[in-house]
Structure 1
Amino acid sequence: MALTDRAVAPRYAKALFEAAEDQQLQSQVHDELQALLGVVEQEAGLMQLLTSQTVPQQAKTELVAAMSDGASDLVKNLLTILAGNGRIGGLKDVIDDYERRYEATNGILSATATTAVALTDDQAAALRQAIAKKFDVQRVTLTQKVDAHIVGGVKVETGTAIIDGTVATRLKKLHTLLTAK
């Protein structure tokens, strides 16, 4: 059975992370990968070009070289190996897996907070501090979403947990209790 790009991404990410760790470049590689991810997400057709069967290999090689221009040798080698092995379609998955490893090693937790209105800077800082304490991590990177449908309160989502303290959820639970026979 053939393995998908997504299935093999952790292998590439692990190898990259270990190499970056050996060279004490984890943070630099992390930053480069995040910048690369930004480019890939901004340029919608980029991955389509790199994975297309109709685009000549030479053009893909030149595109990969342009993408890695100014990057560390580790990131350049990653892109070259992914492209050479026909796995460039899994680049986002490799970056995501590297990100998880980086965060776990450095005591960082990524969380998304959904609120009815935008949080002030002080509220966001207090929420980050509460989440860090709850999950026993050193730092929390917080992505904020606004959804008026939740009415009030906050819903926090991490990679492994959901804490839903929204008014909408409380109202649904109350409705269920009141209508139960």
Structure 2
Amino acid sequence: MSNSTVAKRYAQALFKLAQQKNSITEVGADLSELTKVIKESPDFLTLLNAPKFSIDRKKQMVAEIFTGATPEVLHTVQLLVEKKRVDEMKLIAKTYAELAAQAQGTANATVFSTRALSAEESANISLAFAKLVGKQSLNITNEIDPSLLGGIRVQIGNHIYDSSVVNKLERLKRELIG
């Protein structure tokens, strides 16, 4: 079984459990925090993979570290430790976030711009592009890309909407040169 299949199954199971307990948002927030911990402390995964510690000790450490986490997330991480699949945590969190967004009628979008977007600009972009992909709203992540020269590029899943100055100049160049 490929890693993405394993992560998808764990994420789907966790999502169904969170749905039953009406804790989709809380579980999502805990998974987001878990992802931050993994990014900021890569040694955390190394520790959980270390053969020096017993599985029971690793599960105890996880319980001590994530005392404020929802039981669903805590048990999932402990299960991943037990099954020696801790390297799947980031992908599980990402897949869970996609499932939660889909269930809530939202989608994640990355907006590339030459400067930071204001809250009003983000809201307007969310409103306009959400309709294009059949969603109620978008969770926007703004990334600064000075090479665009102006305008924006919006990526929603596999869809890219590019209205940047660089893209328009490139199109004009193709039309003129042939």
Q: What TM-score, normalized by structure 2, do the two folds share? A: 0.90
Partner of 2:76: 78
2:147 to 131, 146, 149: 149
Partner of 2:63: 65
Shift of the 139–67 alpha-carbon distance from structure 1 to 2, 3 Å rule, reads farther
Partner of 1:104: 102
User: 2:47 and 2:173 mapped to 1: Cα distance?
Assistant: 51
Deviation at 1:15, TM superposition (A): 0.9
Partner of 2:124: 126
1:40 to 35, 38, 41: 38
Determine if the alignment matches structure 1 residue 56 to structure 2 residue 50. no
2:19 to 14, 18, 21: 21
SS of 2:152's equivalent?
Answer: strand
Q: How many corresponding residue pairs?
A: 177
User: 1:45 and 1:90 mapped to 2: Cα distance?
Assistant: 15
Deviation at 1:60, TM superposition (A): 2.8
Shift of the 117–25 alpha-carbon distance from structure 1 to 2, 3 Å rule, reads closer
Q: Tell me the C-alpha RMSD between the 2 structures.
A: 1.8
Which amino acid is the alignment partner of residue 70 of structure 1? G
Q: What TM-score, normalized by structure 1, do the two folds share? A: 0.88
Which amino acid is the alignment partner of residue 8 of structure 1? V
Deviation at 1:4, TM superposition (A): 4.1
Identity of aligned residues (%): 27
Maintained 8 Å contact 1:5/1:89 = no
SS of 1:143's equivalent?
Answer: strand
Deviations 1:62-111 (A, max 9, x none): 43223331222211110111110011110011111111110000011111
Q: Post-superposition, which runs of at least 4 consecutive aligned residues in structure 1 deviate over 4 A?
A: none
Which amino acid is the alignment partner of residue 16 of structure 1? L
Q: Which runs of 5+ in 1 are unaligned?
A: none
